[in-house]
Amino acid sequence: MGHSVPLPLIRVLATGGTIAGAQTDRERGYRAAAFSVDALIAAVPQLATLAQIEVEQVAAIGSQDMDDATWLRLAARTQAALDSPAVAGVVITHGTDTMEETAFFLNLVVRSEKPVVLVGAMRPATAISADGPMNLYNALAVAAHPATRGRGVLVVANDEIHFAREIAKTNTTQVGTFASGHRGLAGLVNAGRLHLYAPPVRRHTAASEFSPLAAAAAGAQRLPRVDIVYAHAGMGRELIDAAVKAGARGLVIAGMGDGNLGAVALAAAAEAAKAGVAVVRSSRAGGGVVERNIEVDDDALGFIAADELNPQKARVLLLLGLTRTGDPRALQDLFFAY
């Protein structure tokens, strides 16, 4: 009898979300983060054919409650797992609402070539045709596969593999909610069988200047305050002024179209930039590049263009950038690099 090769060791870090959710006795309601990660894993015995699994419950929250302190703790626990020579990769169970933000944050602050895979579900664990068990199986398969090393943080859902930078939640309830509009998917995963596409071109993980997270930031409970202001027809200046007054060091504008604001709000944003607040123009349009100096004179007003990042991703990059610099030109360079 030949020796069998031991299965790779994957550490599963649990944070809650609908994947761990249970329906309530209300006809259509459910409560996120009701089940422990052990219960989720026990419900999918086939996981044992893919990997040896060790689990750690980092949080038990709906991802709407994800905050700086939990991000920093999750980053530290992810890094600790990756630094363990025995661990081949990490799977993180997470709610889908802020999954893209957590994935992008980790993509910028974790230092390793080993795979880190976020996974969630749109239907709670007790629902008819729950999507969590197959998503978890596929996520384990992706994290256990050596070819997924060096591709940055990934998200697995609905038989698709997404890059942290590209993924966005695009639908309130459907299982096919995630899309990677700009640069496309990282690959497909069909009942644990991987089909990988081209690796990402922008900087991430081991090549990120934010990894490992600076000791001062890692030990903190808070990251620099960055607010998002959503633009609309008839917009005034009040919300921009309020963000500045509340102490925002950065502002992301979810601008109309190509990252635009009406004249009144634009004047408020320009005043904020002049006062030293980093102002990033992103778009509420859901896709497309916001370039510099097209309809707005970014050079004159001291603004930063978000390039391809949606407002919530632009916020993540900006708050990390602000841990290093407040210079709009240096911050702009980050938006072209990551």
| Distance in Å, CB of 79 to ligand SIN, minimum | 23
Query: With CB under 6 A, what is the number of residues at the site for ligand SIN?
Result: 11
| Distance in Å, CB of 50 to ligand SIN, minimum | 23
8 Å CB contact between 158 and 132: no
Pick the stretch among 69-77, 89-97, 297-305, 310-318 that binds ligand SIN (CB under 6 A).
Answer: 89-97
- Strand positions, DSSP E, 185-293: 187-190, 193-196, 226-230, 250-255, 278-283
Given 8, 12, 14, 18, the residue binding ligand SIN (CB under 6 A) = 18
- Regarding 87 and contact with ligand SIN (CB under 6 A), the answer is no
Q: What is the footprint of ligand SIN within residues 92-111 (CB under 6 A)?
A: 95-97
| Distance in Å, CB of 159 to ligand SIN, minimum | 17
Cα radius of gyration rounded to whole Å, the chain: 20
The alpha carbon dihedral of 190, 130, 45, 147 has a sign of: positive
8 Å CB contact between 140 and 51: yes
18 classed as catalytic: yes
8 Å CB contact between 335 and 280: yes
| Distance in Å, CB of 57 to ligand SIN, minimum | 15
- Regarding 166 and contact with ligand SIN (CB under 6 A), the answer is no
Given 12, 90, 117, 122, the residue binding ligand SIN (CB under 6 A) = 122
Nearer to ligand SIN, 36 or 323 (CB): 36
Among candidate residues 216, 229, 222, 200, the one with its CA nearest the CA of residue 338: 200
- Regarding 17 and contact with ligand SIN (CB under 6 A), the answer is yes
DSSP state of 133: H
| 248-to-83, 213, 224, 236 alpha-carbon distances in Å | 34, 21, 8, 18
Q: What is the footprint of ligand SIN within residues 26-65 (CB under 6 A)?
A: 32, 62-64
DSSP state of 307: B
- Regarding 328 and contact with ligand SIN (CB under 6 A), the answer is no
Tell me the C-alpha distance between 183 and 163, whole Å. 9
Given 8, 89, 115, 120, the residue binding ligand SIN (CB under 6 A) = 120
Catalytically active residues, by annotation: 18
Residues that bind ligand SIN (CB under 6 A): 17-18, 32, 62-64, 95-97, 120, 122
